[in-house]
Amino acid sequence: MALALENVSKHFGSLVAIKNLSLSFDAGSIYSIIGPNGAGKSTVVNMVAGSYTVTSGIIRLGSSILNKLPKYRIAQLGVARTYQNLRLFDGMTVLENLEVCFFPQSWVTILTGAKRLSKAERLHVCHACLEQFHLSDVSDVLAGDLPYGRQKMLELARAFVTEAPVVLLDEPAAGLNHTETKAMATMIASLKRNDRAIILVEHDMDMVMSISDRIDVLNYGELLCSGTPEQVRTNERVQEAYLGTTEELDDIRKLAQSRRAQGGLRSNAGIVRH
Ligand SMILES: Nc1ncnc2c1ncn2[C@@H]1O[C@H](COP(=O)(O)OP(=O)(O)O)[C@@H](O)[C@H]1O
Ligand SMILES: [Mg+2]
């Protein structure tokens, strides 16, 4: 099922967070949305998931127009997400955190007449999911008692447990160490499936470059470029948006050198070209 944003804009008062953005996402691929802080990445996720209304434009999922629907309907149509800041139920166990993902759907299924999973079926799916995300050993532990890295993995599991065809991941590696980030990248890559589109917002460029089929670069709410990891890596406009122009970088280097000469700075910190 394809997801498409057509000329979507989002204003917060006088701030234009997203400006005439058109993007489409097909099942079978991993897409990354990258861009400097404040570029509008989370706003895109929040609009698709129904957390933010759209100021203008259309968001489609298959034949449905999402931007007129409440959040629970969008979830029920098959859009799952994680949040930039963890939103687990700390006082519930790991298993219960997965089980509740079915509840908004099951009560909607009563209205729509769709098949509802029995408790036993639900538990079976949840246990299989715990296994897949390497969380079986902590199924009875309170989510709030898990170390942070495993909380992030549980948040990821929650987005996939209902087999949603569109999964939005907002910074799954935020706050993780190098080893955990690599494990997260491997896990997300393994979740790629022909019947699912994964849309990733992430700052960790190693992860983005290694697992994305396409990268969309946002800058000040507009699409700067779209392409394969290699195309994006070598795009000059992307390098400027992230790192400034070569002249600006030279100016900063000279300033750092003169400060260091005056004993004001201890290192070349911060000016690294990846
Ligand atoms: N709920 C909100 N109210 C007001 N401004 C917001 C809100 N959410 C985001 N913004 C603004 O919209 C812009 C894009 O934010 P965001 O989508 O969070 O950026 P990113 O995720 O790329 O860092 C920023 O200028 C941010 O301050
Ligand atoms: Mg964000």
Q: What is the CATH number of the domain that holds 226?
A: 3.40.50.300
Q: What is the pLDDT at residue 102? A: 83
pLDDT of 272 higher than 60: no
pLDDT digits (tens, 9 = 90+) for 127-144: 999 999 999 999 999 999
Do 142 and 269 have their domain in common? no
Of 10, 12, 19, 218, the residue with max ligand 1 atoms within 8 A of its CB, to mutate for a pocket test, comes to 12
pLDDT of 105 higher than 80: no
Do 188 and 249 have their domain in common? no
Of 9, 33, 42, 218, the residue with max ligand 1 atoms within 8 A of its CB, to mutate for a pocket test, comes to 42
Which of the ligands is closest to the CA of residue 53? 1
Q: What is the pLDDT at residue 258? A: 77
pLDDT of 274 higher than 80: no
Do 256 and 143 have their domain in common? no
Ligand 1, atom 27: nearest CA belongs to which residue? 38
Which of the ligands is closest to the CA of residue 222? 1
Do 270 and 216 have their domain in common? no
Q: Which residue has the higher pLDDT, 67 or 54?
A: 54
Do 98 and 153 have their domain in common? yes
36 Cβ closer than 6 Å to some ligand 1 atom: no
Ligand 1, atom 11: nearest CA belongs to which residue? 17
Q: What is the pLDDT at residue 119? A: 85
42 Cβ closer than 6 Å to some ligand 1 atom: yes
Do 157 and 255 have their domain in common? no
Do 106 and 219 have their domain in common? yes
Do 39 and 59 have their domain in common? yes
Looking at the DSSP assignment, which residues form a beta bridge with residue 217? 34, 225
38 Cβ closer than 6 Å to some ligand 1 atom: yes
- What is the DSSP secondary-structure string of 157-224? HHHHTT--SEEEEE-TTTT--HHHHHHHHHHHHHT-BTTBEEEEE-S-HHHHHHH-SEEEEEETTEEE
Ligand 1, atom 2: nearest CA belongs to which residue? 12
User: Do residues 56 and 6 touch, judged by C-beta distance below 8 A?
Assistant: no
pLDDT digits (tens, 9 = 90+) for 159-218: 999 899 999 999 999 999 999 999 999 999 999 999 999 999 999 999 999 999 999 999
Residues 255-270: what's their mean pLDDT? 58
Do 199 and 263 have their domain in common? no
| Residue 148 in tokens | 């942070």
39 Cβ closer than 6 Å to some ligand 1 atom: yes
Ligand 2 (ion): residues with CB under 5 Å are 41-42, 84
How many A from CA of 225 to the centre of ligand 1?
20
User: Domain span at residue 25?
Assistant: 3-243
User: Do residues 92 and 143 touch, judged by C-beta distance below 8 A?
Assistant: yes
Query: Full-prediction pTM beyond 0.75?
Result: yes
pLDDT digits (tens, 9 = 90+) for 26-64: 999 999 999 999 999 999 999 999 999 999 999 999 999
How many A from CA of 75 to the centre of ligand 2?
20
Do 107 and 238 have their domain in common? yes
Q: What is the overall mean pLDDT for the chain?
A: 88
